[in-house]
Amino acid sequence: MKQEIERLREEIREHEYHYYVENAPTISDQEFDALMHQLIKLEAENPDCFDPNSPTQRVGSDLALSDFEQVEHRYPMLSLGNTYSEGEVRDWYSRVCKDLGVVNDSQLVEVVCELKFDGTSISLWYEDGDLVRAVTRGDGVRGDDVTRNVRTIKNIPLKLIQNNISQFSTLNSHNVEFRGEILLPWKEFERLNAERERNEEPLFANPRNAASGTLKLQNSRTVAKRNLIAQVYGVLGVEQNTHSDSLQWAKALGMPVSDTTRVCKSIDEVMEFIAYWNDERKNLPVATDGIVLKVNSLNQQKNLGFTAKSPRWAIAYKFQAERALTRLNSVSYQVGRTGAITPVANLEPVQLSGTIVKRASLHNADIIAGLDLHIGDMVYVEKGGEIIPKITEVDNSQRQEGAERVIFIDKCPECGTELVRVEGEAAHYCPNEISCPPQQKGKIEHFVSRKAMNIDGLGSETIAMLYDRGLIHDVADLYTLTVGKLARMERLGEKSAQNIVDAVKKSCEVPFERVLFALGIRYVGETVAKKLASAFGSMQALSVAKREELTAVDEIGERIADSLILYFDDMRNMQLVERLQGFGVKMEGRVARAELSNKLDGLTIVISGTFEHHSRDEYKVMIEAHGGKNGSGVTSKTSLLLAGANMGPAKLEKAEKLGVKIISETEFLEMLNA
């Protein structure tokens, strides 16, 4: 049976390579799924044949990771020198030739030109052909071990193609390392941001941030769903004659190497490559921010050596921020769950950085006034480093006479209520949170979300349909739904209706801190809700708490306190809470916390750096378990700074300036053991 399992694994790996690396599938999706299901079944029946590099392990796990282990790089991950000028590229090439003693055209200095993919750097370690470790750049000397998450990336081979290894006698199969970028394709980036927008979560600014954030998630199953990809640009631990040879070697073993890479035999060819991709990059499925130039000969690279920060044999040419000129057709206004009004510029469609842009956020009234926008204006739209489109400039020379000036609205576009603007904030709000339709729909969507009440089966479309038909007006109405009412709705059969009713009933088991978060009180996120639940223990106690009692809770400032008081002062909100309680929703219960001693009672401790004996999260739990409080930043109220390796210099400097006592990991453990 073990032989059959290995045969299936090899067959699936081959199909994965054709599909994800070569983009040329050899079997249908249905046939591939059948092979995978067969392997899953055989592995389940034969647990002794488990292999962490089996294709079945790419789905990830729901088990949360603690802190990522810090790993020292076997070879430092250096940064490259940057230039935005073609003239500086020519100067670099001239210096390279001079340093190598090249004085005429017969002595070639070949340069490999590679697209600089805009993602997050990764180091992939293989031993005997197996992926054993994946490490982020970190500070260049050490990074985070994210192997568990990287295993979910489908175009990274968990095993190198064995039958090609023998073709390369220089392979050190016991210790080879590939360097590359982890990327989130445009299509996935837009899907992810659309999903976050529906949930009123902060949008990712660009695919690079999204890829980096995804790679550091604690849940590898979530990582698997985001469809990251990789591009390899370097090989270490293997001797070849040229950089281009090493890339071809990597590709033959199944590594994802870009087909856009080109070996240039002169500076003129380099310039042709730059000119071509300066425009053509707009059509790529992933983000790029420049071109990397590397001397091809590895022997010449050794002769050129390094400066203190970067190699002399390589340089990065950065593209100018891309922008496009298009027409402003209109400005519309969106109402969010919290009542915040977001103005949106509706544009004549234009291609920008690989996508068709039709809309751009105008953020708030101040931005509109600063741009002096008029309907019909020709405007410059830019992405640059921030991929969410924004209008950066107006071409006033093309403004039509009599064009209507854009003036921020003063009434809610949905319910007509007069807008308000809180002092010190840029946004305008609709204060009618009880009966403004988008706010109520948004509150219900937030209430049923996984991290809140976790009510499955109620997506945004279903909620909108129930609200528009008058079956629900607020979150409490969810508990009045019956199978009969739901089954009569479009796209909802009796089985789906029963599942929704069961999920609503099950939500009564959700603990109090999540109920508090689910209410959608402004500024009360997951962490704040846990701290409030731990401090007050019930909705009743929280609803009558005074401002000074609220701000006495760790990390609860005046803004959060005022928002809570405002919420509970509204009788309609109190009636909603009472209705939810009447349906059986939990309105009390403290967050469970182990209490081992009061040795740290009254102390606020800030943690910085990395540690040998325990993770940062473990130390945070220990601090609370012994009566202390965790501080997020060094202030005059900080009692101790627990300092580990690689501690941030800013925190250290501030602690010394304020006279905060700094203790080591050993001293801290001795305090607890005393």
Weakest mean pLDDT among 519-528, 588-597, 632-641: 588-597
Q: Provide the pLDDT for residue 199.
A: 65
Weakest mean pLDDT among 89-103, 356-370, 634-648: 634-648
Q: Helix (H) and strand (E) counts for the chain?
A: 25, 21
Q: Provide the pLDDT for residue 63.
A: 43
Q: Provide the pLDDT for residue 47.
A: 80
Measuring CA to CA, which residue among 505, 490, 530, 450 is closest to residue 225?
450
Which residues is 346 bridged to in the sheet? 330, 359
How do the domains of the chain map onto residue ranges? 2-58, 82-318, 323-431, 437-509, 512-582, 604-673
Using CA atoms in the order 272, 245, 236, 55, what is the torsion angle rounded to 10 degrees?
A: 100
Q: Provide the pLDDT for residue 597.
A: 79
Q: Is the pLDDT of residue 313 over 50?
A: yes
- The conformational region for residue 290 under phi > 0 = left, psi -120 to 50 = alpha, else beta, is left
Distance between CA 306 and CA 304 in Å, rounded?
Answer: 7
pLDDT single digits (tens) 590-625? 765 556 678 888 888 988 877 777 777 678 878 887
Q: What percent of the chain has pLDDT over 90?
A: 46
Q: Provide the pLDDT for residue 19.
A: 64
Question: What is the architecture of the domain spanning 323-431?
Answer: Beta Barrel (2.40)
Question: What is the architecture of the domain spanning 82-318?
Answer: 2-Layer Sandwich (3.30)
Per the annotation, the verdict on 225 as an active-site residue is no
Q: Provide the pLDDT for residue 4.
A: 85
Q: Is the pLDDT of residue 258 over 70?
A: yes
Average pLDDT over residues 122-134: 91
| Interacting residues of 194 by C-beta distance below 8 A, sequence separation 6+ | none
Q: Provide the pLDDT for residue 655.
A: 85
- Kindly indicate whether the domain formed by 437-509 is annotated with CATH number 3.30.470.20: no
* 218 three-class SS: coil
Q: Fold match between 437-509 and 512-582?
A: yes
Confidence band, pLDDT 50/70/90 cuts, at residue 170: very low
pLDDT single digits (tens) 211-234? 988 888 877 888 888 999 999 999
* 101 three-class SS: coil
Q: Is the pLDDT of residue 102 over 90?
A: no
Distance between CA 555 and CA 283 in Å, rounded?
Answer: 46
Catalytic pick from 2, 41, 98, 116? 116
Q: Provide the pLDDT for residue 353.
A: 64
* 405 three-class SS: strand
Q: Provide the pLDDT for residue 244.
A: 95
Q: Are 46 and 1 a contacting pair, CB within 8 Å?
A: yes
Q: Which fold has domain 512-582?
A: DNA polymerase; domain 1 (1.10.150)
Q: Is the pLDDT of residue 445 over 80?
A: yes
Write the DSSP string, 288-336.
Answer: EEEEEEEESBHHHHHHH-B-SSSBTTEEEEEPPPPEEEEEEEEEEEEE-
Average pLDDT over residues 113-137: 92
Question: What is the architecture of the domain spanning 604-673?
Answer: 3-Layer(aba) Sandwich (3.40)
**C-alpha triplet 393, 396, 401: angle, nearest 5°:** 140
Q: Are 276 and 100 a contacting pair, CB within 8 Å?
A: no
pLDDT single digits (tens) 30-86? 677 678 778 887 887 788 888 877 887 765 544 434 467 888 888 888 888 888 889
Weakest mean pLDDT among 113-122, 248-257, 615-624: 615-624
Q: Provide the pLDDT for residue 66.
A: 47
Whole-model pTM over 0.95 = no
Q: Provide the pLDDT for residue 22.
A: 61
Structure token digits, residue 7? 């045969």
Q: Are 226 and 192 a contacting pair, CB within 8 Å?
A: yes
| Interacting residues of 659 by C-beta distance below 8 A, sequence separation 6+ | none
pLDDT single digits (tens) 351-369? 876 668 888 888 889 999 9
Residue burial 75-98, b: 16+ Cβ < 10 Å; e: rest: eebeebeebeeeeebeebbeebbe
Measuring CA to CA, which residue among 512, 481, 514, 513 is closest to residue 498?
481
Q: Provide the pLDDT for residue 665.
A: 86
Q: Which fold has domain 2-58?
A: Helix Hairpins (1.10.287)
Average pLDDT over residues 195-207: 73
Average pLDDT over residues 531-549: 92
Provide the residue count of the chain.
674
